[in-house]
Amino acid sequence: LLIPKFLVLSTFGMFDTYAGMVIPLLVDAAGIFIMKQFFESVPREVEEAARIDGAGVFRIYWSVVLPMARPALITLTILSFQGSWNEFTHFLVSTQSAQYETLTTGLARFVAGGLGSGTQYPLKLAAAALSTIPVAILFFCFQRYFIRGANAGSVKE
């Protein structure tokens, strides 16, 4: 899949640009599936209650459904951030110049012997451990949203 990815980026003129690095990673199939499953789980009674109160389609989505989707959106944000943060092959194919080098490609160059001779395992392991810190911080900041249920208390049975 690396060759078609390169051909698509170069055809659209996005090779070796920030747009070519960011835009292909914005939407993926897993994110669409997560959000589809969440929106199907929203009870119809909640939407009907908002419609009875006089809300239109956009108002129901913006004021009722979207706040209920916060756990799904945060889950999707964490998974997307982690996926793009750890992405190596996309950045290897989409950029060529050192100006657009990312942490993962720099770490790969570092591990491949960028420091010269010798194996400096403590330095390499420290660099790999430091690269996991932003994902861990993002997860720990938003972990409370994983525990909460999205539809808890929305429908009385």
pLDDT value at residue 37: 92
**Under CATH, to which class is 2-147 assigned?**
mainly alpha
Task: Tell me the two tokens of residue 25.
Answer: 């990673």
What does the pLDDT profile of the chain (157 residues) look like in tens digits?
889 999 999 999 999 999 999 999 988 888 999 999 999 988 999 999 999 999 999 999 999 999 998 888 988 888 888 888 888 999 999 998 889 988 888 888 877 765 555 567 788 788 888 888 998 898 888 887 765 555 555 666 5
- Cα separation, 22 vs 38, whole angstroms: 25
- What are the sequence ranges of the domains in the chain? 2-147
The per-residue pLDDT for range 53-74, each reduced to its tens digit, is: 999 999 999 999 999 988 889 8
| Percentage above 70 pLDDT, the chain | 88
DSSP, residue by residue, 53-109: TT--HHHHIIIIIHHHTHHHHHHHHHHHHHHHHS--HHHHHH--SGGG--HHHHHHH
pLDDT for 139 equals: 85
**Could you report the per-residue pLDDT of 35-55, keeping only the tens digit for each?**
999 999 889 999 999 999 999
pLDDT for res 147 = 56
